[in-house]
Amino acid sequence: MSVADSMHNPLSQKSLVATPSKYDGNKKEYDTFLRQLRLFIRGNTAILSTDEKKITVALSYIEGGDAEIWANGFTDAKLTAGDFGTWNDFLAEFKQQFGPTTTESDAITELENLYQDKLTATEYWMQANALIGRAKLRKNEDYVFLKRIITTRMNWPLIRQCFALDNVPATYENWQSQTIKFDNQWREANDIRAQSKRKDDRKPKKSPYIPRAQEPAQDLGEPMDVDSGTTKREKPPIKAVRNFLTDIERTDLMKRGACFKCKQIGHLSRDCPGQGRSDSRSDNSGSRNERTQNIRSMDTIPAPSLSTDDKDAMIAALMDKINQMEKALKDRKDF
């Protein structure tokens, strides 16, 4: 700290007591601020020897909110009067302005709303004892009320363990000591368990199984070509030789009255002299060829457009053909 700072604030280098926090008029912080202020003045009695010095120091720590407005008005009035009054008068006026009017009832309300939750048993009892002091409750005379608060606000597993004892706590001090004991034991056991888990985590773990990447599939050729050394590929099917008439050829032969087999004029296909009947084998072959020729081609070629005279001639030739076939059929029946 520089010399200038020491001269500006002579109390900072002589006081061993922490300076009070700034007070803005919050009634919940009234007791805390007043406690800090009294300790600071008591630790600096050599310098703060008069009531006026105590009051001016107290006013310097009142800042912000409604408290600053009140402090400014108080300071102006006292400076005008030329007298700050006594220290006790200042405390009485300050308490009347900012002190809680229902200190005891407020403390009891806070005690009823105090739950252990994540607090340790020690932390809970510290806060509970402070509220009991503010509420001016007596631990022995008000034991029934305090027991109801303790058993319903502390964590139930801890309270249940106390009720499981052969000698259930019967006083305020017994409840405090027993719950703190069980809570410390429980937390110690959890710490040991946590350390054991951390040791297990440090153990090397087996690496997980990772399957090998599959190699790209090889080209095995055509399906079913399992062994190229012993299995031969199938040959493409042989296309059948077309030995039957097309629609155009058939129409042309019918117009000319020619044979469907030898394509000569003067006889029908069944009377074709080129058809051999030497043996049953040739007969069977001939009948198969005739059936094959009579099958209409699947690869038909559309007939060219014909004039009216050509159509009439084709119809006439067909009628003659039909008559000849009917006559031949009748002669065969008569024979």
Say yes or no to pLDDT of 4 above 60: no
Where is pLDDT greater, at 17 or 228? 17
d(CA 324, CA 153): 123
Say yes or no to pLDDT of 101 above 90: no
Where is pLDDT greater, at 207 or 83? 83
pLDDT tens track for 196-253: 777 666 666 666 666 666 655 555 555 544 444 555 555 555 554 455 677 778 778 8
Mean pLDDT of the chain: 77
- Rounded alpha-carbon distances, angstroms, from residue 331 to 92, 325, 335: 154, 10, 6
Of 279, 256, 276, 277, give the one whose Cα is nearest residue 267: 256
Say yes or no to pLDDT of 120 above 70: yes
pLDDT tens track for 36-67: 999 999 888 888 889 999 999 999 999 988 88
- Sign of the CA dihedral running 87, 89, 90, 96: positive
Q: Can you read off the two tokens belonging to residue 215?
A: 């190699």
Lowest mean pLDDT among 20-24, 148-152, 171-175, 261-265: 261-265
Where is pLDDT greater, at 190 or 293? 190
d(CA 173, CA 96): 36
Indicate the pTM of the whole model.
0.41
Q: Can you read off the two tokens belonging to residue 88?
A: 């006790």
- Residue 176: how many other CB atoms lie within 10 Å: 19
Q: Which amino acid is at 73?
A: G
Say yes or no to pLDDT of 304 above 80: no
Confidence of residue 165 (pLDDT cuts 50, 70, 90): very high
Q: Check if the beta carbon of residue 253 is closer than 8 Å to that of residue 259.
A: yes
